[in-house]
């Protein structure tokens, strides 16, 4: 793979020149903060029908030890998604248009959507109204996307085959039934004795989440971090980064807001923050209004609320298993001495944030399941796990709200 910006830009110039039928020179305007090489470039000397700027994305090859996925697999899956979107552009625009690509070096050349704020920047700002409005618009947009892709799994699969993409281990594809041994070992190590019927409850949960005949099965982004949602000047929103996207249960995307969004790959880089309950309700109400246009079952409270809680439970249990594999297993085996180990010291702060987010997911599951009177056995176990983790790490604090919601004055919540 190419290792410097100049060579990547030169290759992109050659690719675009061939695609446009006239010589193209690229001037780099901006390098984005990403684990990949992501550049915004202006086109100089191109024909009138050419775009004025484009974005280059070249997959990183120097992935950190915590990154479990091969960059080429991520590239191929994103390529399949971008081609899938092109088939649907007469119905809805998901994100940037694909101009051209080079599989040999993992290079994508895509539409430049412009210099706009991401949801991350908005939530970390100081404008509660803007943050609330953006989340409401995102709810409507996500509902439209899920409806637009209903029944198109075979088309998506064809693009995956054409790109040579393999299914990736996303939140939508992981099945807890394949890790029940680890889950029970984790619970046992925490001193949590599940009530009778817990295994059957998890089996029923996962059967619903992975049901290929579920009315909620549609295209899912699977990685809705705040930096992957872009607000355009037109007040519309778009999605970015489709490395993990696949078909799955729609509400696994929708509960991202309720669950305080997925963190970056472990060890967690950014501290977790949450959205206030009244904004979550507004997001979900608008999402559900759009979803009902294509999934009539979503109009029924019993059906939608059950699916919502199931999605929260899947998220929380997947996170618990991730915590177990990354450091909880060793911590329970070694006791308090684990926290003072020399090899743990550099990661101590990151692991602390990882634990905080994991506990928050479990707490959100408990609160949501109690609110809608769902999954009594699973929520009982989740409550017991929270108590065990809190006893082990009493310093764990609740996630704070995003800065935009710190001052509720004038945010419409009253």
What are the tens digits of pLDDT across the range 337-370? 877 787 777 777 778 888 888 999 999 999 999 9
Q: What confidence tier does 105 reach under pLDDT thresholds 50, 70, 90? A: confident
* Location of each CATH 3.30.200.20 domain in the chain: 5-111
Residue 13: pLDDT over 70: yes
In percent, the amount of the chain with pLDDT more than 70 equals 92
pLDDT computed for residue 66 by the predictor: 47
Neighbouring CB atoms inside 10 A of 326's CB total 19
Q: Phi and psi (nearest 5°) for 230?
A: -115, 130
pLDDT computed for residue 69 by the predictor: 67
Residue 308: pLDDT over 80: yes
* Location of each CATH 3.90.1200 domain in the chain: 119-405
DSSP 97: P
Residue 266: pLDDT over 50: no
pLDDT computed for residue 35 by the predictor: 73
Q: What is the mean pLDDT of the chain?
A: 89
pLDDT computed for residue 4 by the predictor: 67
- Name which residue leads in pLDDT, 291 or 5: 291
The least confident of 65-79, 86-100, 243-257 is 65-79
4-38 in b/e form (b: 16+ CB < 10 A) is eeeebbebbbebbbeebeeebebeeeeeeeeebbb
Residues 6+ apart with CB under 8 A from 84: 152, 155, 156, 159, 219
Residue 68: pLDDT over 90: no
Largest distance between two CA atoms of the chain:
71
- Name which residue leads in pLDDT, 232 or 144: 144
Residue 267: pLDDT over 60: no
Point out which residues pair with 31 in neighbouring strands. 39
pLDDT computed for residue 326 by the predictor: 84
Tell me what the mean pLDDT of segment 388-414 comes to: 79
What pLDDT, in 10s, does the model give residues 190-221?
999 999 999 999 999 999 999 999 999 999 99
Nearest to 315 by CA among 142, 146, 174: 174
pTM: 0.90
- Name which residue leads in pLDDT, 174 or 409: 174
In percent, the amount of the chain with pLDDT more than 90 equals 63
Tell me what the mean pLDDT of segment 144-151 comes to: 96
Q: Crossing angle, helix 376-392 and helix 301-323, to 10 degrees?
A: 30
pLDDT computed for residue 414 by the predictor: 43
40-62 in b/e form (b: 16+ CB < 10 A) is bbbbeebeeebeebbbbbbbbee
The upper half-sphere exposure of residue 407, i.e. CA atoms within 13 Å in the direction of its Cβ, equals 7
Q: Which two tokens stand for residue 99?
A: 């101009």
Query: Top-level CATH class of 119-405?
Result: alpha beta
Judged by DSSP in three states, 368 sits in helix
Domain spanning 5-111: which superfamily?
Answer: Phosphorylase Kinase; domain 1 (3.30.200.20)
């Amino acid at each position: 793979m190419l290792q410097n910006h100049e060579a990547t830009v030169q290759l992109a110039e050659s690719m675009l020149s061939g695609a446009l039928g006239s010589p193209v020179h690229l001037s780099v305007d901006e390098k984005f903060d990403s684990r990949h090489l992501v550049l915004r470039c202006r086109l100089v000397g191109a024909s009138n029908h050419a775009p004025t700027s484009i974005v280059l994305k070249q997959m990183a090859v120097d992935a950190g030890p915590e990154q479990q996925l091969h960059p080429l697999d991520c590239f191929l899956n994103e390529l399949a998604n971008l081609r899938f979107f092109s088939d649907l552009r007469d119905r809805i625009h998901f994100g940037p248009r694909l101009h051209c690509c080079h599989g040999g070096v993992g290079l994508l050349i895509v539409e430049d959507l412009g210099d706009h704020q991401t949801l991350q920047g908005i939530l970390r700002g100081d404008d509660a109204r803007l943050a609330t409005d953006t989340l409401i618009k995102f709810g409507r947009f996500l509902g439209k996307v899920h409806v637009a892709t209903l029944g198109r799994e075979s088309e998506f699969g064809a693009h995956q085959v054409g790109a040579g993409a393999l299914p990736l281990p996303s939140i939508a594809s992981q099945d807890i039934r394949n890790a029940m041994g680890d889950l029970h070992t984790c619970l046992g190590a925490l001193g949590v004795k599940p009530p009778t019927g817990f295994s059957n409850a998890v089996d029923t949960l996962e059967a619903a989440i992975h049901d290929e005949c579920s009315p909620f099965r549609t295209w899912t982004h699977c990685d809705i971090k705040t930096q992957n949602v872009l607000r355009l000047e037109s007040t519309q929103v778009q999605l970015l980064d489709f490395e993990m996207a696949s078909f799955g249960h729609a509400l696994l995307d929708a509960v991202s807001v309720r669950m305080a969004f997925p963190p970056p790959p472990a060890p967690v880089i950014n501290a977790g923050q949450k959205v206030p309950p009244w904004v979550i309700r507004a997001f979900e109400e608008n999402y559900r209004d759009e979803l009902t246009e294509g999934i009539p079952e979503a109009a029924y409270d019993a059906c939608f609320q059950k699916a919502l809680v199931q999605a929260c439970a899947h998220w929380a249990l997947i996170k618990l298993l991730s915590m177990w594999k990354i450091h909880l297993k060793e911590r329970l085996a070694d006791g308090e001495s684990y926290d003072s180990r020399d090899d743990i010291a550099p990661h101590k702060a990151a692991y602390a944030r990882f634990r905080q987010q994991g506990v928050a997911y479990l707490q959100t599951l408990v609160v949501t399941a109690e609110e809608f009177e769902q999954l009594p056995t699973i929520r009982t176990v989740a409550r017991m796990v929270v108590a065990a983790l809190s006893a082990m790490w009493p310093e764990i604090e609740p996630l704070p709200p995003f800065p935009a919601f710190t001052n509720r004055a004038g945010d419409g919540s009253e």
